[in-house]
Amino acid sequence: MPKTADVLIIGAGVIGLSIAYHLARKQTGLHIVVLEKEKMHGAGSTAQCTGGIRHQFTNPLNIQLTKISYPYFLRFAAEMQYPIYFRKNGYLLLTGSATRLQALREMNERLADLNIAAELLPPDEIARRYPFLHTGDLLGGSFCPLDAYADPYGVVEGYYRQCRRLGVEVLYGTQVDGIITGSGEVKGVRAGGADFYAPVVVNAAGPHLHLVARLAGVDIPAAPFRRQVYVCAPLPAVPPGIPLIADLDTGFYLHVEKNGILLLGGTDRDTSPGLQPAVDRSLLPFFVEKATARIPALEEGQITRIYAGIRSLTPDGLGILGETEVSGFYCAGGFGGNGFMHAPAIGMITACLVLGEKPPLDPSPLSPGRFMSTSLADKALF
């Protein structure tokens, strides 16, 4: 007997489950089935995510996506009945480049127009607030106190539990290896040796987005790139409660967990595409050079673990969200290092598109068909 549904969602990561949740909440009785190749939800990119949420983007569309998502994070624990350890520590973006400083200044003007407070700090003020930073080569930085962290495990688990309460089915160990189409429309998928039929299929396969799209004959120029995270034992000089600090010139970032453990990384900008999350130890010396140049106390730091995750990046640095040329077949992914923080907005917008409602923002700049003349070399760096 073939299985049927109203909507099939491929991938039970934070994006797939957010889409399922928003669809189920909007339309009671909708039969939604999420197909996940792994044995549990949230086992893909979401499992490696460091949980940052920021408003500070040079692209106004990304600011809008955070503006839509942020209130969901604020009420997530109460609404989903699951803790996400939301902490409003802010983000501090540093630069020694006049061009980047000007970009930060313009970004802050845009944020101010949207009633989001962010301040431009001179190097001496940065040194006063964060004495563990080397600031000699800096021209300034931008600090937004609203930027935050939340626990990715809690968010994906909260979505999953709420989806189940709303009647969403989640099938594990069910890898989609075919998409059934006909007359330019999607009809269903082939997964785990069975056929599933539905008039709507949403591809939320994370780093596999482009591969799953190809099953429907759709070419999506998203590509998977590895990102390494260096876990370092707490350092007395670097207290918990400080903002996420990112050096825009080198990519290096510092994120301090509640217990003082440091998560560091961001210096692996020039890796080649690939789906293998194996750690590349040859990147360590370059990382250490950039990290200790910004935080000299890291000379004394003890790296306890290195792990790697995969982010799906697009040529223009924006995610992909919308219906493809195959009617009823949607893609939602390619959000790079922002897919977690924007998952609430992505879920809400996708649900609106599928149900024929007006979404909270015009998603056409994210449309899957927009890539005609850009190359992966243009991909966004932060």
Ligand X SMILES: Cc1cc2nc3c(=O)[nH]c(=O)nc-3n(C[C@H](O)[C@H](O)[C@H](O)COP(=O)(O)OP(=O)(O)OC[C@H]3O[C@@H](n4cnc5c(N)ncnc54)[C@H](O)[C@@H]3O)c2cc1C
The contact mask relative to ligand X for 213-242 (x = CB under 6 A, - = no) is --------------x-x-------------
Among 9, 21, 24, 36, binds ligand X (CB under 6 A): 36
Report the alpha-carbon distance of residue 153 to residue 221 in Å, rounded: 28
Q: Which of residues 172-191 bind ligand X (CB under 6 A)?
A: 175-176
Instruction: Please tell me the distance from the alpha carbon of residue 203 to that of residue 332, in angstroms, as a whole number.
Output: 6
3-state SS, residue 1: coil
Is 154 near ligand X (CB under 6 A)? no
Which residues are within 8 A (CB) of 218 and not within 5 positions of it... i.e. 6 or more apart?
Answer: 324, 325, 326, 329, 331, 368
Kindly tell me which residue out of 141, 206, 243, 317 binds ligand X, with binding defined by CB under 6 A: 206
CB of 33 to ligand X, least distance (A): 11
Could you say whether residue 333 binds ligand X (CB under 6 A)? Answer: yes
Helical (H) or strand (E) element with 309: strand 303-313
- Token pair 């499992």 is found at 47
Q: Is there binding between residue 45 and ligand X (CB under 6 A)? A: yes
- Distance in Å, CB of 68 to ligand X, minimum: 14
Q: Report 4-33 residues binding ligand X (CB under 6 A).
A: 10-16
Residue 201 Cβ, how far from ligand X at the closest point, in Å?
A: 11
Q: How far apart are CA 364 and CA 348, in angstroms?
A: 15
- Nearer to ligand X among residue 301 and residue 333 (C-beta): 333
Give which of 130, 139, 126, 135 is closest to 96, Cα–Cα. Answer: 139
With beta carbons less than 8 A apart as the criterion, state whether 262 and 324 touch: no
Tokens 């690939």 belong to residue: 274
Residues 6+ apart with CB under 8 A from 200: 6, 7, 8, 186, 328, 330, 354
Site map (CB under 6 A) of ligand X, residues 297-326, x = contact? ------------xxx---------------
Closest CB 276 distance from ligand X, rounded Å: 13
Contact 143, 1 (CB under 8 A): no
Q: Is 290 in the site for ligand X (CB under 6 A)?
A: no
Classify the phi-psi angles of 242: left when phi > 0, otherwise alpha if psi is within -120 to 50, otherwise beta. Answer: beta
> Does 210 participate in binding ligand X (rule CB under 6 A)?
no
Task: Look at the chain and count its residues.
Answer: 382
> Considering only residues 251, 339, 344, 363, which one is a binding residue for ligand X as defined by CB under 6 A?
339
Q: Which is nearer to ligand X, 127 or 379 (CB)?
A: 379
# chain residues binding ligand X, by CB under 6 A: 40
Structure tokens at 130: 């964060």
| Contact status: 264 vs ligand X (CB under 6 A) | no
Select from 25, 26, 31, 43 the one that contacts ligand X (CB under 6 A). 43
Contacts with ligand X by CB under 6 A lie at 10-16, 35-38, 43-46, 48-52, 175-176, 204-208, 212, 227, 229, 309-311, 333, 335, 337-341
